[in-house]
Amino acid sequence: MRYDPIDPSLFVTNRKRLVRELKPGALVLLNSSDTMPTTADGTMPFRQNSDLFYLTGIQQEETMLLLCPGFRDESKREILFLREPNEHLEKWHGHKLTKAEATAISGIKTVMWLSEFEGMFHHLMVMSSAELVYLNTNEHYRAEIVVQTRDARFIQWCQERYPLHTYQRLAPIMAKLRTVKQPQELKIMQKACDITEKAFRRVLKFVKPGVMEYEVEAEYTHEFIRHGSRGHAYTPIIASGKNNVILHYIDNDQRCAKGDLLLLDAGAEYASYNADLTRTIPVSGRFSKRQKDVYNAVLRVLRKAMGMMSSGMVYFDYHREVEKLMQGEMLGLKLISKNDIKNQKPGQEAFRKYYYHGTSHMLGLDVHDLGDMHARMAVGSVWTVEPGIYIKEEGFGIRLENNVVIQRNGIVDLMKNIPIEADEIEEIMNSK
């Protein structure tokens, strides 16, 4: 692995937290992700199922976790199933985990090969008094599932073979658990943010008129990977000029021009955890007066938004307050008028022309992490804060984004050391 080893106590604790949430007589089964095909014999880079990683720390494909916490034989209460290594596999694809290595990573003492799964699963299903089976699915509120997953195939197989068992959804429990980050998780996320800081500072020294957006992307990639990251936490947005009013612009194929702004939405992944940073910088190294005025308006909103966040806040209430702040800033920037506000209709407010996305989302093993957006912000949850103003008619947009940890009163800013003041950004860009 590229990252520093994670103490297995994290995964042991996560499993214990899960078991406390289960009903009596329960059995739990989770699958790894599939290795997804492209065309011909190609495949996409493997990315582990976040829930399985959360409970085991295992990054290897074709992995299964079976929990039967009430079984009388303690050695069968936690079983990890792995693809069995062999000489042919090692020659073509390299080393696969041994049982001892898997135990060292996960803290699970009983490790078996996948060839043993069906027999052991049948034994526990019929001999453990397990009436209730928790199976996993992707229930993220923004998910668009068009490909049948390994979990979905297993659900179909299991229900056909054992039709009289009762089945329940594991996803709501996993979302609840993963919302609150453990201290080890926060340290890993801080590392992802620190790597992102190094990359952003590198980019500040690199950008100048004439460079291509993809060259800037490459600078991020270089710095991420050299510090032990697998790379970008998500497809980076390197948007210059008029491109930066497009929220999910990912072509990154245009030349950065003198006088334009460059919106940079790029964060590092580290040990499967993610950072999510946005900054907007002047290609020429200096903001125009108008650009700086808009920039500082967005920065004021970001800081006031961060000041609102605490364990007593519900996201949608907070977002409405941020929208009010935005409305006030847009009045000051003369983007909208008092008459526009007077005549606006609910859902069609004047500010929405220039601010048309949510202020925050949860962050963790997934960039848009699991959790209940309608609940109060949980102590230990991690959120982005990312206000923006996008002025298509003036040919530029500005978004700023930091990642914060919710406390009982206030927040901890994981990106407090990353330059954000307009003057500091200009100073770094123009220094030797």
Residues 372-406: tens digit of each pLDDT: 999 999 999 999 999 999 999 999 999 999 999 99
User: Does the pLDDT of residue 150 top 90, yes or no?
Assistant: yes
**What integer is the mean pLDDT of 260-279?**
98
Helix, strand, coil proportions of the chain in percent (round to 5)?
40, 20, 40
pLDDT per position as a tens digit, 26-70: 999 999 999 988 899 899 999 999 999 999 999 999 999 999 999
Q: Is the dihedral of CA 254, 257, 263, 267 positive or negative?
A: positive
User: Does the pLDDT of residue 22 top 90, yes or no?
Assistant: yes
- Residue 138 Cα distances to 16, 145, 234, 424, angstroms: 22, 8, 18, 42
- Burial level of 74, CB count in 10 A (0-12/13-18/19+)? exposed
User: Does the pLDDT of residue 224 top 90, yes or no?
Assistant: yes
**pLDDT of 284:** 98
Tokens of 189: 């996320």
- Supply the angle between the helices 213-226 and 183-206 in degrees, to the nearest 10: 140
- What is the percent of the chain with per-residue pLDDT over 70, rounded to a whole number? 100
Average pLDDT score, the chain: 96
Reported confidence tier of residue 145, pLDDT bands at 50, 70, 90: confident
**Look-up: residue for tokens 């693809």?**
83
Let me know: does 407 contact 307? Beta carbons within 8 Å: no
Domains and CATH numbers, the chain: 9-178 (3.40.350.10), 183-430 (3.90.230.10)
Name 331's Cβ contacts closer than 8 Å, sequence gap at least 6: 337, 338, 341
Residues 415, 266: Cα–Cα separation, whole Å: 13
Asked which of 5-9, 78-82, 91-95, 376-380 is least confident by mean pLDDT, the reply is: 91-95
- What is the percent of the chain with per-residue pLDDT over 90, rounded to a whole number? 92
- φ, ψ for residue 37 (rounded to 5)? -80, 155
Output DSSP code: residue 369.
-
Residues 178, 42: Cα–Cα separation, whole Å: 33
**What integer is the mean pLDDT of 227-254?**
97
**Look-up: residue for tokens 């069906």?**
118
Model confidence, pTM: 0.96
pLDDT per position as a tens digit, 172-190: 999 999 999 999 999 999 9
**pLDDT of 276:** 98
User: Does the pLDDT of residue 1 top 90, yes or no?
Assistant: no
pLDDT per position as a tens digit, 101-120: 999 999 999 999 999 999 99
**pLDDT of 174:** 98
Convert 320-355 to b/e letters by CB count within 10 Å (16 or more is b): eebbebbbbbbbebebbeeebeeeeeeeebbbebbb
**What integer is the mean pLDDT of 72-87?**
95
**pLDDT of 129:** 79
**pLDDT of 429:** 98
